[in-house]
């Protein structure tokens, strides 16, 4: 199937999950995860109507930028403009470039990273939206801040200039089935709801991927991050940019 057909199928699945949860489909954003796929793939998805994308690595996305002319030619409010978020771990030495290249950083997990992003955004006069990544599983490979440390981090971020706190994200343990992820999604939603009175801008929940996004929607996700179901698997020999 083509990328356009895959996008249509995913949108249908999102709508079906929203009906089950008594939610509006327009309240759930579809992020096309384009990591490890070439710039031409992003442009093909863009031609099919996709606007929101997720990338994992600063350096990899930097290599794609010279081919993504729409980022330079479209204005901030242009409906045709690509919006690209960083959804992978952010190294401290990459924060300045990340603040420059991406429209949002969705994986902030420490005060040090938030401070560096704030300084970088301030230096360019940019208001940078961020999500805080929360680690809810015990897997060594997962990133994020522990739930019990989250309130203190949110309070500290609120004092930083040039950052706009918008919500939380998480990655549950991998499973071929969707249901095992449900408790993790529910935990993130309940955590958001508990902390929101003290952090009113804490609205978004970025959770759910190709294998479990319908369950994530049922549990309150506002952004689902879909890669394989849209772009397929990247051949080992495929170029990065």
> Residue-wise pLDDT tens for the chain (241 aa)?
899 999 999 999 999 999 999 999 999 999 999 999 999 999 999 999 999 999 999 999 999 988 886 545 445 556 567 899 999 999 888 999 999 999 999 999 999 999 999 999 999 999 999 999 999 988 777 889 999 999 999 999 999 999 999 999 999 998 989 999 999 999 999 999 999 999 999 999 999 999 999 999 999 999 999 999 999 986 554 443 3
**Are the beta carbons of 50 and 30 closer than 8 angstroms?**
yes
Residue 211 and residue 236: Cα distance in Å, rounded?
21
Give a yes or no: residue 180 inside a domain.
yes
User: CA-based angle 185:186:191, to the nearest 5?
Assistant: 100
Give a yes or no: residue 48 inside a domain.
yes
Give a yes or no: residue 236 inside a domain.
no
What does the chain come to in residues?
241
The terminus-to-terminus CA distance of the chain in angstroms comes to: 22
Give a yes or no: residue 237 inside a domain.
no
Give a yes or no: residue 181 inside a domain.
yes
Give a yes or no: residue 241 inside a domain.
no
Structure tokens at 14: 């999102």
> If you search the block for the tokens 């990065």, which residue do you land on?
240
Give a yes or no: residue 239 inside a domain.
no
**Are the beta carbons of 147 and 194 closer than 8 angstroms?**
no
Give a yes or no: residue 140 inside a domain.
yes
Residue 77 and residue 164: Cα distance in Å, rounded?
18
> What's the pLDDT at 239?
43
60-68 own/partner pairs: CB under 8 Å, 24+ apart: 60/35, 60/36, 60/240, 60/241, 61/86, 61/101, 61/102, 62/97, 62/101, 63/240, 63/241, 64/38, 64/39, 64/240, 64/241, 65/101, 67/39, 67/40, 67/43, 67/241, 68/39, 68/42, 68/43
CA atoms within 13 A on the CB side of 187: 15
**Domain CATH number, residue 17:** 3.20.20.10
Structure tokens at 17: 């999950």
As for how many domains the chain has, the answer is 1
Domain of 9, in residue numbers: 3-231
| pTM, entire model | 0.92
């Amino acid at each position: 199937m083509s990328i356009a057909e895959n996008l249509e199928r995913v949108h249908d699945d999102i709508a079906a999950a929203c009906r089950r949860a008594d939610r509006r489909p327009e309240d759930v954003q579809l992020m096309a995860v384009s990591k490890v796929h070439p710039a031409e793939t992003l442009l093909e998805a863009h031609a099919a109507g996709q606007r929101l994308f997720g990338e994992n690595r600063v350096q990899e996305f930097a290599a794609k930028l010279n081919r993504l002319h729409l980022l330079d030619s479209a204005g901030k409010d242009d409906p045709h403009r690509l919006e690209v978020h960083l959804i992978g771990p952010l190294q401290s030495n990459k924060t300045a470039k990340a603040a420059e290249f991406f429209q949002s950083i969705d994986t902030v997990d420490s005060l040090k990273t938030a401070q560096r992003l704030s300084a970088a955004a301030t230096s360019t006069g940019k208001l940078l939206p961020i999500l805080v990544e929360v680690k809810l599983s015990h897997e060594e490979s997962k990133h994020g801040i522990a739930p019990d440390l989250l309130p203190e981090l949110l309070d500290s971020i609120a004092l930083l200039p040039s950052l706009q706190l918008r919500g939380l994200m998480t990655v549950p343990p991998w499973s071929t089935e969707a249901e095992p992820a449900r408790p993790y999604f529910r935990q993130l939603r309940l955590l958001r709801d508990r902390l929101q009175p003290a952090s009113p801008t804490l609205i978004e929940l970025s959770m759910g991927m190709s294998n479990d996004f319908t369950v994530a929607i049922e549990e309150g996700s506002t952004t689902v991050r879909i890669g394989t179901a849209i772009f397929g698997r990247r051949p080992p020999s495929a170029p990065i940019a």
